[in-house]
Chains A and B, each alone.
Chain A
């Protein structure tokens, strides 16, 4: 029994050893076996899926059976462009994405600047953790928290009531608020990293040459940090474009691109696929502009 085990072990080792010998001095073979898995998964699996989606966007649905019919037509795209509701859904989604991005840039800049140029190293570490913690995690819980806060008897109305105001309630404004909230850390971190890259000596030089803090900020800090802001905006913009959970929780009455895609997935997969092309087109245009503005070095 034991002898057999040892023999099997020796056999196994020799296979491993033979493989090792095979790899030795053959970097192309090493490269190939390292890349086969990831490339196969991402190119064939993922890019392939995107291609399938693009093809499915040209299919239709049989009116009688409700089955997907694989005949090529431009009807889905015609419908998206010509139906006023779909046009306003697209406009609303892009508008909210832009508004949330702008809001995040305004909220992120002071804290990023404080972290990069004012805070002590210790404080900096604490702030980085404080921003990082809620970055990836519990997206749904965050939206849910806002749903409770924005509801009729929620904390926002409770806090605003004594001064005679009321919160925005559920609706488009709520979506703007929640999207700004959700993606704020994605804006803070690139701006912070971008500001860290600006040498302090540049700021001192500007001061020595007679510029006040305001002028140094406008003429030195802002132009140098702008590409980092654009880098952050890629995340805030893209993540808002594809969100359908937030609208369905805090704005049940209005539709966004994600809701239309979600609503059509069971009954009209081709139309849902065609509508999912809209954010891809918008993001492609956005990324081309971002690249021109030099944002890619800050990702």
Chain B
């Protein structure tokens, strides 16, 4: 489209404003991690790195961190298994109700978090008689992480032709051999990307977590949420917040790199990126 210089520059200004809107809060929180003062006054009166040490030594934050990692790994493992199975079924088979599968997997994340949270909490406490704890959080996280793995793997399987698997079978390989030597290698990076994104999603989820977590346990986001109302803990909360950003940005970035190289470059990259991003 031919645009005048003025329109082009206006557009550029709009892009700059939107990017600033997205990134300024993250930069501000990054600076607060080095805040030498005890309040959230801007600008910080002085800068220091001492809160990083204090945060790393903080037992509550450490425990919450370990809990978050455990929950994230367990939920990711379940999501990898179920998401891959569903993606294989949808991509390689025809059956009645095939179209509803993608709707089914996206539902737990498309519905507001409070709905998923309270529905699972109702079922655990009222019907199954399971008291809330880490197990219930893992089940809840796995439920909304399935879609991430499913989308990544299904997008990959759409691109890899099923005729390779047929060829493998024709050459005498049995079901497992075909899976092990043909299907699995072709979707391995999609699995890693899906797993990384699922982990990142679980790592900082808070809404469903508050409804399914037991009284005694804390994930890192829950720890932040309870401590940010305590003025004494604020400097440590600021540091932990920055660490959370770093820990969840790395898997997201790696996942993007892993899936970016597929397809014809310029056109393929954004489309694949979209597949990983939007459930």
Residue numbers of A with Cβ under 8 A of B are: 16-17, 19-21, 23-24, 27, 30-31, 34-35, 37-39, 41-43, 45-50, 52-53, 56, 68, 107-108, 110-111, 113-114, 117-118, 121, 124-125, 127-142, 144-149, 151, 153-155, 158, 181, 184-186, 188-190, 192-193, 196, 200, 203-204, 207, 213, 216, 234-235, 238-239, 241-245, 249, 257-258, 261-262, 265, 269, 272-273, 276, 279-280, 283, 299
| Whole-angstrom distance between the Cβ of B10 and the nearest chain A Cβ | 8
User: In the complex where A118-B8, A244-B207 touch, is A149 in contact with B25 (Cβ < 8 A)?
Assistant: yes
Cβ-defined contact, B252 with A155, below 8 A: no
Residues of B within 8 A of A21 (CB): 174
Residues of A within 8 A of B278 (CB): 186, 189-190, 235, 299
Cβ-defined contact, A158 with B42, below 8 A: yes
Interface residues of B in 19-61 (CB under 8 A from A): 19, 21-23, 25-26, 28-29, 32, 39-43
Q: Is B163 close to A, CB under 8 A?
A: no
Cβ-defined contact, A257 with B114, below 8 A: yes
Which range holds the interface residue count of chain B?
35 or more
Cβ-defined contact, B108 with A46, below 8 A: yes
Nearest to A30 among chain B residues (CB) is B93
Given contacts A31-B95, A265-B211, 4 further A-B contacts (CB under 8 A): A46-B108, A48-B123, A138-B241, A140-B224
| Whole-angstrom distance between the Cβ of B174 and the nearest chain A Cβ | 4
Residues of A within 8 A of B176 (CB): 16, 19-20
Cβ-defined contact, A140 with B21, below 8 A: no
Partner among A27, A145, A238, A239 whose Cβ is within 8 Å of the Cβ of B93: A27
Residues of B within 8 A of A31 (CB): 89, 93, 95
Q: Is B157 close to A, CB under 8 A?
A: no
Cβ-defined contact, B270 with A124, below 8 A: yes
| Docked complex Cα distance between A177 and B104 (Å) | 32
| Complex A-B, nearest 8 residue pairs according to Cβ-Cβ distance, in ascending order | A242-B112, A110-B14, A137-B248, A145-B25, A20-B174, A38-B86, A34-B89, A53-B119
